[in-house]
Structure 1
Amino acid sequence: MTSKIIGVGNYIPSETITNLFFDKHIFLNEQGDALKEDNASITRKLQKITGIVERRYAHSNEVTSDLGLIAAQEAIENSGIDPETLDYIIFAHNFGDVKFGTIQSDMVPSLASRVKHSLQIKNNFCVAYDVLFGCPGWIEAVIQANAFIKSGIAKRCLVIGAETLSRVSDIHDRDSMIYADGAGAVVLESVEDGSGIQSHLSASFTYKEKDYLYFGKSYNNESCPSVKYIKMDGRKIYEFALTNVPEAMKQCLDKSGFSIHDLDKIIIHQANEKMDEAIVERFYQLYNTPLPPNIMPMVIDKLGNSSVATIPSLLAMILKGELEKHQIEKGNVVLFASVGAGMNINAFVYQF
């Protein structure tokens, strides 16, 4: 017995933020000094490295749980199930609900509980809880849901990934340009037909790597020092990812019993286009196999990095036929992988 995806949904906010949005920003370094490059040069460099041309922000009246609810509703409708039959609702995020124009995170009650309430589910034994696991949170939530299903204590689970990173980014930090908002969700159901999740792997690198992504003060030293924003050491993250993610992907694929030649798609966290391309290229090098064409769909150029939402949102787009060059057919083998704050890495192999 394993878990099969029977419904997908996503919510991509309609507010498009192009790179021109940052033209008037005052970007500073960690010491609070203005960067020597002009903003046009900074954004060009960002686009060259990350591939990001534009990103989406949530509307001012929306919070993370609102985005997750919309994706969840679509996934439930797509699955055709009665939501009262759900055994678990697991909501992956990192910063809770942060209202527009405020600095306070709200996580009580859990975002999963808020979604369950909004879905008007009366079943008290549908358990709703949140997962905080960095950008790999949605994959980790899927792995947990699969464990519940394989153990026999659950038959159906709703797994959501949503984030509004635009609310927790420092406008004086050029890294803020990569962040975006969005949501994705899937409904998982127990199956015994050989399809579904074939293997999975998770790891937390905390001994030296814990603070590669962290919450820190604004680069504007005149800002309130008690207000913190998402911060990262981009170089260390890049080196960490290229060293560790390909090997984790290989371990996961080897556990599944499939060969590198069986893979039809790799759906990886949309964090940085160059980094993702390098990860996948190194992954194939571990098998002494050339990188096949069209193996890795990318939407970061239009949607930016929405953390836990990137993978489920991208999956929904593919299965809904919204990406012209990428399709997933019955029997296809797909490797999902992510890396992020913690530092955490995870992956699973799935046969459709």
Structure 2
Amino acid sequence: MKCSVITGSGSYLPAVLKPNSDFLHQQFFAEDHSPVKNNGQVVIDKFQAITGIRERRYAADSDNTSDLAIIAGEKAINDSGIDRESLDLLIVAHNFGDVSANLTQADTVPALASRVKAGLGIKNPACIAFDTLFGCPGWLMAIMQVEAFFKAGMAGKALVIGAETLSRVYDPFDRDSMIFSDGAGAVIMEAKEGNAAGIVACHAVSHCGEELHYLAMSPSNNPDEAQEVKHLKMKGRKVYEYALKHVPGAMKTCMDKSGIPVSEVKKIFIHQANEKMDDAILAAFYKLYGLEAPENIMPMCIQKLGNSSVATIPTLYDLVKKNHYPQHKLEAGDVILFASVGAGMNINAVCYRCA
């Protein structure tokens, strides 16, 4: 039986460093368009206490989402050592396409995957390039798509990238906008015959009722801004409550499908959305087993990189693999659990055994 194995990874951290202090003199407005009366330091302190974010990265004006994706993809290819012309699939997860600096119009034609394929110089027409839009869990959903292609015998090698430039679509007058950042992460996956490593189980759910607009596009909170222009908006409390209610259960369902005891999980990679929320999800997940969360089981990069949507998990995975976090090591045979939540509202989880 063939297993879906990660054989290489890469990531790109954009060049522009944006610390919280850069928002000190920003005038924020509430959802009802009223000015936020707290001074900038109070707003920043509350924000950092909840999210854990101290700084984030933004793409340079000359770079776009597809540019970030190309760099991360190139690194993953080089790390794996494969011939890029042997790729059967090239999937780019994103949500807004290419959005040029100082503009808000999304450019998705041609698909970002097509642009990345061209940028990587891949000539093989049998390498199928397409995009995945699934909110923040998009990269993990693309991983699940690759698993399905591999099991169906329709592909054997894939490049899976998550890339986003959220700095181009947020509302600068909304306090929640400080969460968002830019970045890209990528992995090479290969179908390996009789390999003990690889994807063990997957699970995903979509709640599209009242949860539909917890993350959506809406006009600026600033009444003086053009109201026909829409920005990424988030109902922070609603997202937090939704995630805490549903993500732990989805993670447990994935583990139950795998047949692997939770005690064997070495690391858990959760979408870097909010430090407080991720800690609560982890605690709730282990509570479902009547356990307390083990120490040092959940790597985090949100403090310095912010929330780059689809890019957070592959970026964090690559940083751990490249030993950027000495306290987090991955060895062959280790069981890890990926999990994400985001717009839709969508949730997914993947249990994986390291090669």
Aligned AA (1:157): A
Aligned AA (2:342): G
Alpha-carbon distance in structure 2 between the residues aligned to 1:194 and 1:325 = 25
After TM superposition, give the deviation of residue 251 of structure 1 in Å. Answer: 0.3
Alpha-carbon distance in structure 2 between the residues aligned to 1:158 and 1:24 = 42
SS at match of 1:209: helix
CA deviation profile, 1:160-197 (whole Å, cap 9, x unmatched): 00000000010100001010000000000001212100
Question: Hey, what does 1:324 align to over in structure 2?
Answer: 326
The gaps in structure 1 that reach 5 residues or longer are none
After TM superposition, give the deviation of residue 39 of structure 1 in Å. Answer: 1.0
Aligned AA (1:218): S
Alpha-carbon distance in structure 2 between the residues aligned to 1:103 and 1:314 = 28
Question: Hey, what does 1:262 align to over in structure 2?
Answer: 264
Give the alignment's Cα RMSD to 1 decimal: 0.7
Alpha-carbon distance in structure 1 between the residues aligned to 2:52 and 2:8 = 30
Question: Hey, what does 2:41 align to over in structure 1?
Answer: 40
Aligned AA (1:231): K
Fraction of identical pairs, as percent: 53
After TM superposition, give the deviation of residue 122 of structure 1 in Å. Answer: 1.1
SS at match of 2:151: helix
Aligned AA (2:217): F
Question: Hey, what does 1:281 align to over in structure 2?
Answer: 283
Aligned AA (1:263): V
CA deviation profile, 1:188-225 (whole Å, cap 9, x unmatched): 00012121000000111002211110000001112111
Aligned AA (1:176): S
Q: Does 1:193 align with 2:192?
A: no
Q: Does 1:205 align with 2:196?
A: no
After TM superposition, give the deviation of residue 14 of structure 1 in Å. Answer: 2.1
Equivalent residue in structure 2 for 1:309, among 308, 311, 315: 311
SS at match of 2:191: strand
The gaps in structure 2 that reach 5 residues or longer are none
Question: Hey, what does 1:347 align to over in structure 2?
Answer: 349
Alignment TM-score, normalising by the size of structure 1: 0.99
Alpha-carbon distance in structure 1 between the residues aligned to 2:15 and 2:45 = 24
Q: Does 1:295 align with 2:297?
A: yes
Aligned AA (1:318): V
| Equivalence map 1:145-184=2 (5 Å) | 145-184=146-185
Alpha-carbon distance in structure 2 between the residues aligned to 1:16 and 1:29 = 26
* Number of aligned residue pairs: 352
CA deviation profile, 1:311-347 (whole Å, cap 9, x unmatched): 0000000001111211111110000000000000001
Alpha-carbon distance in structure 2 between the residues aligned to 1:128 and 1:98 = 20
Alpha-carbon distance in structure 1 between the residues aligned to 2:304 and 2:101 = 22
Alpha-carbon distance in structure 2 between the residues aligned to 1:260 and 1:277 = 17
